[in-house]
């Protein structure tokens, strides 16, 4: 029987003490201390940074099932006034990772007394999900070779979806996204003699206009995947009325349903940006930030989540389209043979993710626990 109050208290404690991506040292230590009493067969630390993983072995050979949650919080000032509000200024758990950790810790408590029959179960606490770097770093860590799973599953709480219900689909579950930074360099001059310099002003405007038109242009060329481009920042020179600018920067978020469509977005953006830069006699430089691959669910992974919903009498919906927001869990389903991420409804009338007044719904802890436990039962079995 799941001790719900115990894990609710753990969740609130984690909420009070959030840490940003790549800084989750104390959060990982708290998880390690709680898991000491669960007597996992293997404990792996410092995976891709501050990541930790706990392995529970079955008595017989069989597949490896990995269940993932996230350690990190966000650089958002909390506006809530409840007792478990964040004690760290400017940092808070506004994505529900505290709740996800509580669910997986509860699963560890169950596995401590109920080992799988075959294979092994890996409970994975991943760092730096919010930057898109954590899963890449963890999967590419040489220590992860010993943990390579056959199945990988994760959930994400989702405001706007009925409390406790599940949404899932085969294929792309979360969109690919990345920030692109385009730097243009010309030559400054006196504002009285702009002809003596090389201004990036025209090229900057052309690039912004082309970025806004890019999804429609690619659709007209026959690209069927949905695409989104959002210009988020632009800067031309400095505020100096005596100077004609010589440098500019344009930043945009590229988003697509598939990794292949993302490759097309990047190639097209770089091509027309170079063209405008060359026309204007400018140097150009590209860089990227917050790179997320599409998170792709296998058909079997989706089917097993649906079966878990049926076995636990959990209401579920098969989504027609993927979530637009991004998640780096796709790194795990890329290396596993099968797997899926699913959304667990946090309630229709609740603040959205990343809002300063958001808080995880503790009622989801036993629901998430039971869904993951059923997935383990399907794959690794219990006596």
CATH number reported for the structural domain that contains residue 322 in this entry: 3.40.630.10
Mark whether 78 and 201 lie in a shared domain. Answer: no
Binding residues for Mn(2+): 95, 97, 130, 156, 354
The structure's pTM equals: 0.92
Mark whether 18 and 109 lie in a shared domain. Answer: yes
User: What residue numbers bound the domain in which 96 lies?
Assistant: 4-173+295-380
Confidence at residue 4, expressed as pLDDT on a 0 to 100 scale? 78
- Using CA atoms, how far apart are residues 63 and 32, in angstroms rounded to an integer? 25
Rounded to an integer, what is the distance from CA 223 to the centroid of its chain? 25
Mark whether 223 and 322 lie in a shared domain. Answer: no
Task: List % helix, strand, coil for the chain (3-state, nearest 5).
Answer: 35, 30, 35
Binding residues: 95, 97, 130, 156, 354
Q: Are 117 and 59 in contact (CB under 8 A)?
A: yes
Region of residue 53 (left: phi > 0; alpha: psi -120 to 50; beta: else): beta
Count of the separate structural domains present in the chain: 2
Mark whether 206 and 307 lie in a shared domain. Answer: no
Q: Are 297 and 170 in contact (CB under 8 A)?
A: yes
Could you read off the pLDDT tens digit of each residue along the chain, which spans 383 residues?
566 799 999 999 999 999 999 999 999 999 999 999 999 999 999 999 999 999 999 999 999 999 999 999 999 999 999 999 999 999 999 999 999 999 999 999 999 999 999 999 999 999 999 999 999 999 999 999 999 999 999 999 999 999 999 999 999 999 999 999 999 999 999 999 999 999 999 999 999 999 999 999 999 999 999 999 999 999 999 999 999 999 999 999 999 999 999 999 999 999 999 999 999 999 999 999 999 999 999 999 999 999 999 999 999 999 999 999 999 999 999 999 899 999 999 999 999 999 999 999 999 999 999 999 999 999 999 97
Q: Which of 235, 263, 292 finishes a domain?
A: 292
Mark whether 141 and 199 lie in a shared domain. Answer: no
Q: Which of 292, 309, 325 finishes a domain?
A: 292
Mark whether 52 and 107 lie in a shared domain. Answer: yes
Tell me the chain's radius of gyration from C-alpha atoms.
23
């Amino acid at each position: 029987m799941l001790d719900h109050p115990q894990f609710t208290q753990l969740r609130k404690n984690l909420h009070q003490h959030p840490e940003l991506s790549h800084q989750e040292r104390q959060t990982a230590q708290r998880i390690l201390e709680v898991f000491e009493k669960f007597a996992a067969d293997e404990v792996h630390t410092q995976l891709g940074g501050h990541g930790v993983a706990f392995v529970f072995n079955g008595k017989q050979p069989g597949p490896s099932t990995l269940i993932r949650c996230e350690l990190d919080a966000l650089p958002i000032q909390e506006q809530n006034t409840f007792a478990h509000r964040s004690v760290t200024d400017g940092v808070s758990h506004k994505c529900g990772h505290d709740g996800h950790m509580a669910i997986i810790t509860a699963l560890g408590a169950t596995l401590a007394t109920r080992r799988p029959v075959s294979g092994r179960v890996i409970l994975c606490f991943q760092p730096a999900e919010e930057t898109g770097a954590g899963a890449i770093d963890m999967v590419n860590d040489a220590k992860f070779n010993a943990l390579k799973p056959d199945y990988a599953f994760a959930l994400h709480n989702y405001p706007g979806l009925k409390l406790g219900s599940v949404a899932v689909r085969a294929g792309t579950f979360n969109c690919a996204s990345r920030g692109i930074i385009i730097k243009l360099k010309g030559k400054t001059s006196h504002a009285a003699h702009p002809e003596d310099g090389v201004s990036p002003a025209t090229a900057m405007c052309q690039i912004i206009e082309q970025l806004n038109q890019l999804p429609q242009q690619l659709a007209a060329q026959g690209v069927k995947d949905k695409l989104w481009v959002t210009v988020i920042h632009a800067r031309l020179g400095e505020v100096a009325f005596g100077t004609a600018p010589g440098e500019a920067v344009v930043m945009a978020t590229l988003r697509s349903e598939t990794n292949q469509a993302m490759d097309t977005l990047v190639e097209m953006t770089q091509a027309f940006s170079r063209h405008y830069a060359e026309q204007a006699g400018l140097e150009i430089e590209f860089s990227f930030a917050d790179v997320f691959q599409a998170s792709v669910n296998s058909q079997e992974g989706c089917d097993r989540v649906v079966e878990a919903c049926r076995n636990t009498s959990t209401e579920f919906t098969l989504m027609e389209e993927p979530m637009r927001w991004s998640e780096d869990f796709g790194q795990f389903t890329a290396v596993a043979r099968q797997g899926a991420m699913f959304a667990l409804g946090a309630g229709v009338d609740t603040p959205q993710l990343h809002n300063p007044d958001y808080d995880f719904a503790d009622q989801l802890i036993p629901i998430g626990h039971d869904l993951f436990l059923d997935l383990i039962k399907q794959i690794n079995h219990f006596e």
